[in-house]
Amino acid sequence: MLNSILLPTSYLAPIYYYAVLFQYNNCMFEHHEHFIKQSLRNRCQIYGANGKILLTIPKERKGSSKTKIRDIKITYKENWQQEHWKAIKSSYNSSPFFDYYQDDLNVFFKQKETYLVDFNKKLQELILSFLHKKITYTATNKYIISDDFTDLREHLFTNKNQKRYDQVFMEKHGFIANLSIIDLLFNLGPESSDYLQEMDLNI
């Protein structure tokens, strides 16, 4: 049995990330690290008609780059919620299980959450409910350099040998691995849980 696993907060995290949550119940979430640009903390990748699409939640600009992740605020100066949902709907409208999940998911692209970690947490809880998986949410209360845990804060959450499953635009661009969890859910639906449980994590 692994010791505790420390994970970063994540926006619609990669499939591998959710496999970790699914297979291990002893996970903690980092709330005291400094915000890291161009990372899964506020970005995800989905599969569109022309291939990968990167979706990024914009944050309020700060004078210092040393802002703790728990203090990062989402900005709504740009209508990113509408843009993200439009991209998601365009990409997955014809997937087998889009209609099944879309109403609950769409709520998160209408409500305005102040802090990124809160938005990510609530969205993560929804995704886990889709997967019929309950976890105990434990957030760090300070920044820990090292301790009795497996540190995945800088992990890429990729799997070179990810098992193929049918994707909407697979005939055009082939199988694309390591996408957001919603790619798996919209394409596999209830079978997503078994898929995550069977993934080889190598951590």
Residue 201 falls inside a structural domain: no
**Confidence at residue 65, expressed as pLDDT on a 0 to 100 scale:** 64
Supply 26's token pair: 């002893």
Residue 67 falls inside a structural domain: yes
Mean pLDDT over 159-166 rounds to 94
Ordered DSSP codes for 34-93: BP-SSSTTSEEEEEETTEEEEEE--B---S-S--BGGGPBBP-SS-HHHHHHHHHHHHHT
Are 6 and 150 in contact by the 8 Å Cβ rule? The answer is yes
Per-residue confidence at 25, pLDDT binned at 50, 70, 90?
confident
pLDDT in tens, 97-129: 999 999 999 999 999 999 999 999 999 999 999
Helix axis angle, 181-188 to 116-130, nearest 10°? 20
Supply 36's token pair: 């890291």
Q: How far is it, in rounded angstroms, from Cα 115 to Cα 11?
A: 12
Residue 108 falls inside a structural domain: yes
Residue 127 falls inside a structural domain: yes
Per-residue confidence at 1, pLDDT binned at 50, 70, 90?
very low
Residue 200 falls inside a structural domain: no
Supply 203's token pair: 């951590």
Are 146 and 119 in contact by the 8 Å Cβ rule? The answer is no
**Confidence at residue 106, expressed as pLDDT on a 0 to 100 scale:** 98
Mean pLDDT over 146-155 rounds to 89
Residue 202 falls inside a structural domain: no
**Confidence at residue 76, expressed as pLDDT on a 0 to 100 scale:** 97
**Confidence at residue 147, expressed as pLDDT on a 0 to 100 scale:** 76
The parent domain of residue 74 ranges over 4-195
pLDDT in tens, 27-80: 999 999 999 999 999 999 999 999 999 999 999 977 556 899 999 999 999 999
Residues 6+ apart with CB under 8 A from 98: 89, 92, 186
**Confidence at residue 62, expressed as pLDDT on a 0 to 100 scale:** 73
What pTM was estimated for this model as a whole?
0.94
Cα-atom radius of gyration of the chain, to the nearest Å? 17
Q: How far is it, in rounded angstroms, from Cα 151 to Cα 147?
A: 9
196, amino acid identity: L
Does the pLDDT value for residue 2 go beyond 80?
no
Domain count, the chain: 1
151's enclosing H/E stretch is: strand 149-151
